[in-house]
Amino acid sequence: MANNEPDVKNDVPGLAQGLPPEARREQITGHVNKARSCRVEELAEIFAVSAMTIHRDLDVLAKEGRLQRIRGGARAITARLAERDVRLRRHLNSEIKGQLAATAAQLIERNSVIALDDSTTVGALGDYLEEREPSTVITHSLALMGAVSAMAHIDMVGLGGQYYAETDSFLGSIVVEQAERLMADAVFVSTTAIKDQALLHPDAEAARTKRALLKMGRRKILVVDSSKYESAGIYHVMDLSEIDDVVIDDQLDPKLMSQLRTLGPRIHIVNTSAKAHS
């Protein structure tokens, strides 16, 4: 699609009028996330473009995993929906994930060996690896393997096994066996759920793989947003009392934060203006 679209309406006032396509799509995403769902006609009026342009925008945004297409419009990606597709999870709470990653990156020591899991939260650490200069990165995330392979001064150990498209990573017994033969100065993981003072995950193979990664680390670091507290999970990954550091946003319920502190990990709080998580 051309960047200069001819169908911008000139009779609708407002800052949304006349935006280039990428800027408009960014604002459409934010509007739908805030409203939870919107119809095409509503978006066309707000952004002063034709319904056909909005249809094209929503098709692009849905393909990129930033929104879900529904009949006559679009709706926000929820955590439950996103858990089934890594493409969707990469856009869920992306601003908070970036803030968490920026703080977690400060825990990477120069010339250290680090291990990173396949979560999209930990995946955001990829943007900080070159400046933090670990000597080696161990990961089972295919996306991180691609990113680190382009970093000339960082060695990479890729954990291979059965590839799962829904997580864009390698999981299962082969990965676990490789992890059991490795050591890392620090391991960074996230998780789908925290309940009863434990990390939980809805998938057995993913839980087993995360557990193996954590066990290889001298320092175990959990990077998680507060929406994961009290969420549903079936398979036990590790007790919170075994975690050395927790990087979390400041929206966690004070009672839960107090409970977390009693378990003894070093807590690194990320200040954010977000008031809710999907």
Q: Residue 155 belongs to a domain with what CATH number? A: 3.40.50.1360
Mean pLDDT value across the chain: 86
The whole-angstrom separation of Cα 103 and Cα 115 is 17
Range of the domain at 57: 21-76
User: Do the domain assignments include residue 56?
Assistant: yes
Q: Residue 51 belongs to a domain with what CATH number? A: 1.10.10
Question: Same structural domain for residues 61 and 116?
Answer: no
Question: Same structural domain for residues 123 and 56?
Answer: no
The whole-angstrom separation of Cα 114 and Cα 187 is 6
Q: What is the pLDDT of residue 77?
A: 67
Question: Same structural domain for residues 137 and 265?
Answer: yes
Q: Could you give the number of structural domains in the chain?
A: 2
> Phi and psi at residue 222, in whole multiples of 5°?
-100, 125
For 209-258, the pLDDT digits (tens) are 999 999 999 999 999 999 889 777 788 999 999 999 999 999 999 999 99
For 148-200, the pLDDT digits (tens) are 999 999 999 999 988 988 788 999 899 999 999 999 999 999 998 999 899 99
Higher pLDDT, 145 or 31: 145
